[in-house]
Amino acid sequence: MNVCQVCGKKPGVGNVVVRHGLPKKSGGIGLHTTGINRRRVKANIQRVKVRVNGGTRTMRVCTGCIKADKVAKA
């Protein structure tokens, strides 16, 4: 799974909107939406060896948590 084991960050969702036409301010009749597709924005998850309770274990951690020193690398 693509989920951070520290902060719980997971994939987000959004839309890709396709528009055709010339904008009104450029002399056209306006932009028209011709297609909307769903897309996923995946979190940057890395496998990292982490020190936990005196031992080491491998965790799936987002780069934001690694940069913020929320985990101690082994």
Question: What are the extents of the domains in the chain?
Answer: 12-67
pLDDT of residue 1: 78
**Residues paired with residue 73 on neighbouring β-strands, in sequence order:** 50
Give me the residues of the chain with pLDDT under 70, please.
none
The answer to whether residues 66 and 58 touch, using CB atoms and an 8 Å cutoff, is: no
pLDDT of residue 62: 96
pLDDT of residue 3: 96
